[in-house]
Amino acid sequence: MKLEKSGTKLIAFFKEGTGNDWKKIGEYEAPWLEQTVQVGMAVYARFAGDGPKMQPDLRAIFSDIKIEMQ
């Protein structure tokens, strides 16, 4: 995943692990983006039932992107 900031716009891109092309997945524009912006990622894991059994390796799949102000 890649985020680009240009003026008052923040644009999100995603690239498959095997490909070379970045795909635009979202765009957000706000006047406060003209200033310096700090970005961080938050990850949520949901396990159906009792969770994984003896399988510690996890794979992350991004299904949604949200831009929230705090």
Determine the pLDDT at residue 67: 63
Quick: pLDDT tens for 5-41: 988 998 888 888 787 889 998 888 989 888 888 877 7
Instruction: Please check whether residue 34 is in contact with residue 10, taking contact to mean a CB–CB distance below 8 angstroms.
Output: no
**Domain edges within the chain:** 1-50
Average pLDDT over residues 39-54: 66
Q: Report the amino acid identity of residue 24.
A: K
DSSP string, 4-61: EEETTEEEEEE--TT----EEEEEEE-GGGGS------------STT--SS-------
Phi, psi of 33 (to 5 degrees): -75, -5
Q: Is the pTM of this model over 0.85?
A: no
Determine the pLDDT at residue 8: 92
